[in-house]
């Protein structure tokens, strides 16, 4: 693939950079593809692109070829961007985070108002199990390359302290913990700050053993946004019903999509097939 060495690709921000086939192969392997499959698809894509192609086009092309060989690998390859598609307001991402904690056995509520010592706080996700309460700040980023900074983490830390002080004074003996969950990554300063505070972070690949990528992959908690044929109309309908996980669509037939969400029969049939491939 050395003949591709001088080809340039255009990033979302308009910047150009050299096309590096090894980088593409690595991203496919990170999705769980065997070396042979990754090399094969990487080779096909590399041979098909022209200089000046957008990274979005490369992503779409790669995903399409992967889907022909292994739909599950194609879904995992699309996962990071799929989480980024839980927007634009971020409400879908909040629903998704709530679903993750619900799947982990917590009683979950969204958009809860709770008194602190100084002010009232609106909580994105309130997850409770026994004597433990997780206060979850869901930080959605539309651009999956945008990081969550230290100011967000420090603000969450201050909110936790305010809520804990109120709980202690009122005789509330539950244990309160704060999570900041983002679909992207954290800055080094944010991670360093948390190392000295009673606070938990969860990002795309942080921390090593309990990050979004690992949880979603291990538990197959795929967001509906990674379905290749999903449309904005379908997303809005599903969100209105509180559905953000593909596993929630298991058993739904094409006729159900047509009846409940007003989708065309051809689109409904595609969605039924795609869901079946991912929940088997």
DSSP 278: H
The two three-digit tokens of residue 62, written as one number: 């790669």
Q: What is the mean pLDDT of each run of 10 residues along the chain (280 residues)?
A: 69 86 91 92 92 91 90 85 80 92 96 97 97 97 88 98 97 97 95 93 92 88 90 91 93 95 95 88
**CATH topology agreement for domains 91-219 and 222-279:** no
CA angle, corner 277, sides to 272 and 278, nearest 5? Answer: 100
d(CA 196, CA 278): 40
What's the pLDDT tens digit per position in 101-151?
999 999 999 999 999 999 999 999 999 999 999 999 999 998 878 899 999
> Superfamily for 222-279?
5' to 3' exonuclease, C-terminal subdomain (1.10.150.20)
The domain locations on the chain are 2-77, 91-219, 222-279
- E-strand stretches of the chain: 8-10, 16-18, 53-54, 107-115, 120-129, 132-139, 147-148, 175-182, 185-186, 200-202
Q: Which of 160, 147, 166 is nearest to 199 (CA)?
A: 160
Q: State residue 85's pLDDT score.
A: 85
Out of 3.40.1350.10, 1.20.120.160, 1.10.10.10, 2.40.33.20, select the CATH number for domain 91-219. Answer: 3.40.1350.10
DSSP 146: P
Hey, which residues does 108 pair with through a beta bridge? 127
Q: Which of 87, 88, 200 is nearest to 135 (CA)?
A: 200
Q: State residue 271's pLDDT score.
A: 94
């Amino acid at each position: 693939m050395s003949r591709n060495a001088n080809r340039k690709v255009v990033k979302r921000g308009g910047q150009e950079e050299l096309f590096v086939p090894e980088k593409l192969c690595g991203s496919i392997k990170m999705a769980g593809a065997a070396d042979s499959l990754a090399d094969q698809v990487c080779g096909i894509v590399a041979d098909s692109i022209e200089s000046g192609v957008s990274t979005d086009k490369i992503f779409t092309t790669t995903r399409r070829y992967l889907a022909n060989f292994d739909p599950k690998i194609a879904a995992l390859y699309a996962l990071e961007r799929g989480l980024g598609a839980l927007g634009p307001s971020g409400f879908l991402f909040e629903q998704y985070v709530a679903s993750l904690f619900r799947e982990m056995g917590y009683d979950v509520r969204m958009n809860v108002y709770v008194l602190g010592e100084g002010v009232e706080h609106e909580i994105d996700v309130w997850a409770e199990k026994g004597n433990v309460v997780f206060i979850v700040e869901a930080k959605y980023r539309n651009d999956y390359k945008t990081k969550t900074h230290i100011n967000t983490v420090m603000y969450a830390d201050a909110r936790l302290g305010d809520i804990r002080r109120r709980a202690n004074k009122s005789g509330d003996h539950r244990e309160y913990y704060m999570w900041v969950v983002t679909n992207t990554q954290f800055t080094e300063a944010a991670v360093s700050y948390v190392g000295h505070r009673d606070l938990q972070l969860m990002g795309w690949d942080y921390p090593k053993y309990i990050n979004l990528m690992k949880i979603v992959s291990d538990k197959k908690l795929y967001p509906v946004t990674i379905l290749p044929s999903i449309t904005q109309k379908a997303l809005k309908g599903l969100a209105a019903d509180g559905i953000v996980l593909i596993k929630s669509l298991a058993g739904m037939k094409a006729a159900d999509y047509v009846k409940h969400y007003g989708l065309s029969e051809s689109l409904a049939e595609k969605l039924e097939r795609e869901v079946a491939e991912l929940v088997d």
